[in-house]
């Protein structure tokens, strides 16, 4: 696996849900944020969700004052991270896929 310092994966290792159908027992959402747009984190919206950064650069701000950035190809869950908000830290639209159980 070709992991990078920004949390992104190499092209060959990327998982993408764009244009993919999923089983009925799952829910797939696509979220797009404009450059510098912020989304306040609501735990219930992200419970039991697997997130893929499809395009752009995601910045997570956490309760303890820490933050982290994740580039295209990054895969993560937001549970237990103490996230306060998600922000598009790039100059292009940020596209996230969020896969969860129904």
Each residue's pLDDT tens digit, 42-82: 988 898 899 999 999 999 999 989 999 999 999 999 988 88
Residue 6 lies in a domain: no
Give the structural domain span for 76: 11-101
pLDDT band at 89 (very low <50, low <70, confident <90, very high): very high
pTM exceeding the 0.95 threshold for the entire prediction: no
Query: Which CATH number is 67's domain given?
Result: 2.60.120.10
Q: Which residue has the tokens 């999923």?
A: 22
In the chain, how many domains are there? 1
Closest CA to 41 of 52, 31, 54, 27: 31
Predicted local confidence at residue 12, as pLDDT: 60
Domain assignment present for residue 90? The answer is yes
The answer to whether 61 touches 40, Cβ cutoff 8 Å, is no
Residue 9 has a CB neighbour count (10 Å cut-off) of 19
Cβ–Cβ under 8 Å, residues 1 and 9: yes
Q: Tell me if 3 is assigned to some domain.
A: no
């Amino acid at each position: 696996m070709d992991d990078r310092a920004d949390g992104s994966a190499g092209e060959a290792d990327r998982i993408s849900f764009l244009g993919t159908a999923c089983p009925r027992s799952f829910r797939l959402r696509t979220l797009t944020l404009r450059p510098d747009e912020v989304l306040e984190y609501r735990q219930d919206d992200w419970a039991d969700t697997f997130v893929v950064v499809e395009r752009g650069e995601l910045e997570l701000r956490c309760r303890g004052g820490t933050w982290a950035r994740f580039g295209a190809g990054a895969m993560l869950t937001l549970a237990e991270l103490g996230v306060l908000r998600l922000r598009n830290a790039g100059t292009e639209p940020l596209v996230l896929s969020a896969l969860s159980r129904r």
